[in-house]
Homo-oligomer: A and B are copies of this chain.
């Protein structure tokens, strides 16, 4: 069993204070592990139990969480940023499948990338630390719809 991140210790290490707000926001993010939430999403979820916590605090907290590797920030191409809980501390080390039809984002966890990283390091004099991979395409559901429409 993986021990959960100990927020308090982590914060103390970095000189941050352990506040109720930060704890609440952490709880929400952890509970929503696997989702790709906007700052507004997160704020609304937090506010449903703690209406006093404001947007500014959410943003400031997300910044710290990003720095502490607790979450990953995903820059959506067209919209605003999304955040995801970084369950195994594998920053940027996974892939996102983005359906160009419905916009849903899925994760891939396999490490297709290890070999490529080595190649890149050799050929481009570039030390790869992480990657944020976006694969654009069509998901199963949307493909089914397309086939349907083509048939009709």
CA distance A132 to B127 in the complex (A): 19
CA distance A75 to B96 in the complex (A): 15
Cβ contacts under 8 Å, A78 to chain B: 75
Q: Number of A residues whose C-beta is below 8 Å from B?
A: 38
Contact A112 B119, beta carbon cutoff 8 Å: yes
Contact A126 B138, beta carbon cutoff 8 Å: yes
Contact of A131 among B119, B127, B128, B135 (CB under 8 A): B135
Contact B136 A92, beta carbon cutoff 8 Å: yes
Q: Which are the 8 A-B pairs with shortest beta-carbon distances?
A: A125-B140, A75-B77, A128-B137, A112-B116, A129-B137, A127-B138, A130-B136, A127-B137
8 further interface pairs, Cβ-Cβ under 8 Å (given A75-B75, A75-B78): A75-B76, A106-B126, A112-B120, A126-B138, A126-B140, A129-B136, A129-B138, A132-B136
A-B contact pairs, 25 of them (CB 8 A): A73-B77, A75-B75, A75-B76, A75-B78, A97-B124, A100-B129, A106-B124, A106-B126, A108-B124, A110-B119, A117-B135, A120-B135, A125-B139, A125-B140, A126-B137, A126-B138, A127-B138, A127-B143, A128-B136, A128-B137, A130-B135, A131-B133, A131-B136, A132-B136, A133-B133
